Each structure stands twice: as structure tokens, then as C-alpha cells.
Copies of this chain bind each other. A is one copy, B any other.
Amino acid sequence: MLKRERQDKILQIINEEHKIIASDLSKRLSVSEDTIRRDLKELDNQGLIKRVHSGALRIGPPIVDFSVRENISNEIKMKLGKKVIDILKEDMVILIDGGTTNLHLVYQIPLDFKASIITNSPPIAMALRNHKNIEVIMIGGTLFKQSMVNLGIDTVEYLNNMRCDLYIMGIYNINPQIGISVPTLSEASVKRKMVSISSEILGMVTSDKLDTASNHIVCPVNKLTYLITENINSDLKSTYNSEEVIFID
């Protein structure tokens, strides 16, 4: 691999992931850490990245993660997001609601990607600020601060007048028997409406959410077109997998 080629790759990775660790990069690109260090130094001198001890950061605003508890690692959510990027097609009309996992996905959408994105989540809208070719349509409502999404009658009503190709659902609880559920009624009704107007539905779940349930049911699991998880546990796979759901791990 040529030096130039490798540095481009580094830039691409850092743009997607917003930060990199030098030692990781060394493994991923199969070169010595010395070379990576030299690359990072050069890119930093050109002002393309911000070099810091043990890695580098992307220039520009950092990820504004609104989750109070940082427990679930961002890396995992990033990985989930990466799997979804390939499913997105140009010129799709994509509906995305809230959740940090969805946010991490949005952060990884290439800056030149062309699409329409509809969302009721202010952080998602903010994250699309620099995507010149993405038309962002925000759905209003009363801000539910815990999940940072707009909810309420107006939100549901607005959704009545639209359809979209893909709904990327933020999932808090999923259970093979009970289905997908959320803790509040207003979130459930908005999500139900979103489900009903979408051709395909995609859900990303971190392992801590598998086999949990809450009070308000959104829909059964088989409504999902795609289910993306981190875990390759074959038990889970067979539990959730079905003819209808495309299971990606």
C-alpha cells in the first residue's frame, strides 16, 4: 500500500470514527506503529487532523453524546453503525428517531451522501449539519428530554402525511415474545405511527437491550426488516432470526 493511499485511508477512517488510536491503526492497516506515527504527524502538520497522545482526533465539533450514563461504550455503537451504512442507498427517504445508537450511526454517514432524512430528534438534526446533500426535515412536538425526541399529537399528525423508505428505529427494549417496547406511552405512539408509514424498518440493538421489556409495546419483532446486533451468540440468533427478519451481526 502506498503512503499516499494509506494516509487517505487514515483520513477516511478518522472522518467516519471521529477519533483513532495509533496502535489500532497499525493493526488495521498492517504497518508498524512508527509509520502510523509519521503519517499522523504529517496529517497534523497539514492541519487535517488533530494529533494527540496515542492517537488523533477529527477537526471539528466533537460528538455531543446526550446520554447521562456513558456506560455502554461508544465503540460498540460505532461498530453497529458501520454495519448499517452499507444498507443506506442514495436518494432514500430515511426516517430516524432518537437514541445514542442512532446518533452514532448518523455521525458515520459520509459527508457527501445524498438523501432525505426525516427526524424528530434534535441531536440527529444537529449531526447532519455538514452533510450538504442531505435534506433534513425535522418533525416538531414537545421535547422529551430523556431521549431527546419530539413527541405528542402534532408529531403523530405530521407523520400522517408522509411515507418513507426506511425507518431506523431507536430501540430500548426488545424481546422475542413481547416484541419492541418503550417505557412511555407517547414514545410508543409516535414509534407505532413511524412503523406504519415505512416500507422497511431497521433496528440496532446493543446486547444489554436484548431480552428486556418495557410497558408500552411498539410492534412485534418480525415487523423489523433488519435487526443489527453486536453479538454472534447463535442462541440469540435463532431466537430472533426468522424468514422475515434479516439478522446482521
The residues of A with any CB-CB pair to B shorter than 8 Å are 2-5, 8-9, 12, 19, 21, 28-30, 50, 52-55, 57, 59-62, 64-71, 120, 122-123, 125-126, 128-130, 135-143, 145, 148, 150, 154, 158
The reply to whether A142 and B136 contact each other, CB–CB distance below 8 Å, is yes
In the bound complex, CA of A19 to CA of B7 (Å) = 14
A170 to B: closest C-beta gap in Å: 16
| Shortest Cβ distance from residue A197 to the other chain B in the assembled complex, whole angstroms | 15
Residues A29 and B140 in contact, CB atoms below 8 Å apart: no
**Top 3 A-B residue pairs of the complex, sorted by shortest distance between their CB atoms:** A140-B140, A136-B143, A122-B122
A129 contact from B55, B66, B69, B120, Cβ within 8 A? B66
Q: How many copies does the complex hold?
A: 2
Residues of B within 8 A of A52 (CB): 2-5
Give the residue name and chain of the B residue nearest to A150 (CB): B138
A148-B135 in contact (CB<8A): no
Which of A8, A21, A50, A129: most chain B Cβ within 10 A? A129
Q: Which residues of B contact A30 (CB under 8 A)?
A: 70-71
List 21 A-B residue pairs with CB atoms under 8 Å apart, sorted by A's residue number.
A2-B19, A2-B53, A2-B55, A2-B57, A4-B52, A4-B53, A5-B19, A5-B62, A8-B62, A9-B70, A12-B64, A30-B70, A50-B66, A59-B67, A60-B65, A62-B64, A122-B122, A123-B126, A125-B143, A136-B143, A140-B140
Distance, CA A139 to CA B126, complexed state (A): 15
A128 CA to B123 CA, complexed, in Å: 12
Measured between C-beta atoms, what is the minimum distance from A172 to chain B in Å?
A: 18
Contact of A60 among B67, B130, B137 (CB under 8 A): B67
- A57 and B28 CA atoms in complex are apart in Å by 21
What is the CA–CA distance of A69 and B9 in the complex, to the nearest angstrom? 12
- Are A145 and B140 in contact (CB-based, < 8 A)? no
Residues of B contacting A21 with CB < 8 Å? 2
B62 touches A61 (CB 8 A): no
